[in-house]
């Protein structure tokens, strides 16, 4: 476990529900939030070994942590998963909609839209249902709340093979703005985090090949890939009072990749 660079004292004791916390960015978010003193409800789909590792890591910080399981391709299960999460600590202060699928599919290879439909179910409809359930529960108990949606730079600029994924993330950014407007009067903030290239377990070997590093890192003004800890610290910022006047925003963390665009290199 690495020590967080910044400490947000107001996060200590906050009850945060993180979906998709068994590996990758979700596990990194959980690790950083545990270091900040948050109590965590960790969701996973099927990676039991991964969620056990995440749970062991966060408990080492001395916080409380519980686990819930659910497959968000089945939207009928979403409310039940949320209810379980809410009940673990008799309420929640924050929701991190991180669970998602990275779908690579050409539109003409998915003419019936099955991959498109499944991608939107997990990446967009499930966060909609979870966020709405969270807002409703907060309203009933007259509690403020905070939602962070893990989006992607593909919601802003994309390429071939990502019709379903890019559509789901662009939709999630739009949903973030709308729900921020709808729920501001309830004291509920909603923001998106839009990561660029962040190596995780399933992509380490590919992205750290010399050829791939040269291709990607050279296009980033920051000169490096992102890390799951970068994403965790950004999430902590969005959940903390440090960003209390920020809602309906998309926070892009991509090392400057899409800011640079496709201009030719100039010495």
Structure tokens at 153: 């730079």
Q: Count the residues in the chain.
A: 267
Dist CA 64 CA 165 (whole Å): 34
**Taking the CA atoms of the chain, what radius of gyration do you get in angstroms?**
18
**Sheet order of strands, 94-97 included:** 65-69, 39-44, 15-18, 94-97, 145-150, 188-195, 250-253
Q: Quote the CA–CA distance of 48 and 131 in Å, as a whole number.
A: 25
What is the distance between the alpha carbons of residues 25 and 182, in angstroms, rounded to a whole number?
28
Give the residue among 120, 80, 114 at the shortest CA–CA distance from 101. 120
Of the residues 8, 44, 128, 165, only one is catalytic, namely: 165
User: DSSP code of 122?
Assistant: I
Find, among 217, 123, 220, the residue nearest to 163 by Cα.
Answer: 123
Q: Is 128 a catalytic residue?
A: no
Q: Distance (Å, rounded) from C-alpha 196 to C-alpha 97?
A: 17
C-alpha closest to that of 219 among 253, 250, 259? 259
Catalytic center residues: 165
């Amino acid at each position: 476990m690495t020590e967080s660079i910044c400490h947000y004292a107001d996060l200590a004791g906050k009850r945060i529900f993180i979906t998709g916390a068994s590996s990758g960015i979700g596990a990194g978010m959980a690790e950083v939030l545990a270091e900040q003193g948050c109590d965590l409800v960790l969701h996973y789909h099927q990676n039991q070994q991964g969620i056990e590792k995440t749970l062991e890591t966060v408990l080492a910080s001395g916080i409380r942590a519980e686990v819930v399981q659910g497959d968000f391709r089945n939207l009928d299960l979403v409310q039940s998963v949320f209810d379980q999460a809410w009940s673990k600590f008799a309420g929640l202060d924050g929701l991190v909609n991180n669970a998602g699928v990275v779908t690579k599919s050409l539109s003409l290879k998915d003419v019936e839209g099955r991959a498109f439909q499944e991608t939107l179910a997990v990446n967009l409809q499930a966060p909609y249902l979870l966020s709405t359930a969270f807002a409703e529960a907060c309203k009933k108990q007259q509690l403020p709340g905070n939602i962070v949606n893990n989006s992607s730079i593909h919601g802003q600029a994309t390429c071939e093979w990502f019709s379903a994924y890019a559509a789901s993330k662009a939709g999630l950014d739009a949903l973030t703005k709308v729900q921020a407007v709808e729920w501001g009067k309830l004291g509920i903030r909603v923001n998106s985090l839009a990561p660029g290239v962040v190596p995780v377990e399933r992509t380490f070997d590919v992205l750290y090949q010399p050829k791939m590093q040269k291709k990607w890192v050279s296009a980033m003004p920051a000169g490096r890939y992102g890390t799951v800890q970068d994403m965790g610290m950004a999430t902590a910022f969005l959940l903390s009072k440090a960003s209390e006047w920020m809602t309906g925003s998309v926070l892009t963390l991509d090392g400057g990749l899409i800011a640079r665009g496709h201009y030719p290199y100039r010495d």
